[in-house]
Chains A and B, each alone.
Chain A
């Protein structure tokens, strides 16, 4: 056996070595993505709080109705969609494909309703005169900060809905497996967790009193 063969064998052995933390590689990749995305959202929220803290005339535009009521409904829908995702995963692990696909579709529908409610909230604020650089109440930075943070979250929800539909259809067709549903579920729960911080920091700290 030549030196080159030995080296190739050594490389193959390295490639075939077990995944770190003994979890599937795709799942590890999703965890790494979630950690990186946590940093992105944390940076946005810290920047938002920094501006809010350092700006004396920061607007507090969110009235109980319609804004906070809308946010309560959105929170209910998003947390419920996490539960429906878990139910879908349980069916997928049990090998019940039709039921799993049904629950994935329900989750995607909940995500779509969330996105529509979010757009309604945006339209309401835009209708009151909030743009990226102006608003009728105070610092012009509010619009840019608000739309950046909530827009990034909305982008994640929209991407999640598309991913749910694609993975769901491919799972139904036999190209994907229960493990893929589990990995997508991690992403969906992460989007839910981010919303748990967006609501208090963006909305509840800025309610109209």
Chain B
């Protein structure tokens, strides 16, 4: 395979990824208008956005082609911080109920 063929086949893959991302963006709109509002919708939209982000990171940002150690570093670092941000989540329910847990 020469350089020009390599470039066109790589571009073909990029276009497929691009169409997938557009399709998932469209799916989010459909989910938002067909499902009822609430926690279920929130979870569905978040899952689709997560898959979109994963695809973009792996193929558009080419993290999948980098050294395994960099992939592990980025994934562990990012996921750890995102997880630690969730510790106060339940407190938002206290706000809406207006009843502190201490009572």
A, B co-complexed? yes
Q: Which residues on A are within 8 Å of B, measured CB to CB?
A: 21-23, 31, 35, 38-39, 42-43, 46, 49-51, 53-56, 64, 68, 72, 75-76, 79-80, 82-83, 86-87, 90, 94, 185-186, 189-190, 192-193, 196-197, 199-201, 204-205, 207, 209
Interface centre among A22, A94, A196, A209 (most CB of B within 10 A): A196
Give every chain B residue within 8 A of A54 (Cβ-Cβ): 91-96
8 cross-chain pairs, A with B, having the tightest CB-CB distances, nearest first: A54-B95, A200-B45, A204-B32, A21-B70, A53-B92, A54-B92, A83-B18, A189-B60
Assess the A207–B49 pair: CB atoms within 8 A: no
Main secondary structure of the interface of A (DSSP, over half): helix
Give every chain B residue within 8 A of A56 (Cβ-Cβ): 96
A183 to chain B, nearest CB (A): 11
Partner of A38, one of B33, B37, B78: B78
A97 to B61, CA, bound (A): 21
Give every chain B residue within 8 A of A190 (Cβ-Cβ): 61
B57-83 CB contacts (< 8 Å) to partner A: 57, 60-61, 66-67, 69-70, 73-74, 77-78, 81-82
Main secondary structure of the interface of B (DSSP, over half): helix
Assess the B61–A189 pair: CB atoms within 8 A: yes
A209 to B34, CA, bound (A): 11
A80 to B81, CA, bound (A): 30
Assess the B29–A86 pair: CB atoms within 8 A: no
A112 to B27, CA, bound (A): 26
Give every chain A residue within 8 A of B78 (Cβ-Cβ): 35, 38
A83 to B41, CA, bound (A): 29
Assess the B49–A196 pair: CB atoms within 8 A: yes
Assess the B56–A196 pair: CB atoms within 8 A: yes
Give every chain A residue within 8 A of B46 (Cβ-Cβ): 200-201
A11 to chain B, nearest CB (A): 25
Give every chain B residue within 8 A of A80 (Cβ-Cβ): 18
> With A50-B88, A50-B89 given, is the CB distance from A90 to B10 under 8 Å?
yes
> With A53-B92, A200-B45 given, is the CB distance from A192 to B28 under 8 Å?
no
B21-56 CB contacts (< 8 Å) to partner A: 21-22, 25, 28-29, 31-33, 37, 41-42, 45-46, 48-49, 52-53, 56
Give every chain B residue within 8 A of A51 (Cβ-Cβ): 92
Assess the B81–A205 pair: CB atoms within 8 A: no
Assess the B61–A200 pair: CB atoms within 8 A: no
A49 to B95, CA, bound (A): 12
Q: B99 at the A/B interface (Cβ < 8 Å)?
A: no
A201 to B50, CA, bound (A): 12
Give every chain B residue within 8 A of A201 (Cβ-Cβ): 45-46, 49
Interchain residue pairs with CB less than 8 A apart (11): A23-B66, A35-B74, A35-B78, A68-B29, A76-B25, A82-B60, A83-B18, A94-B7, A186-B61, A196-B25, A204-B31
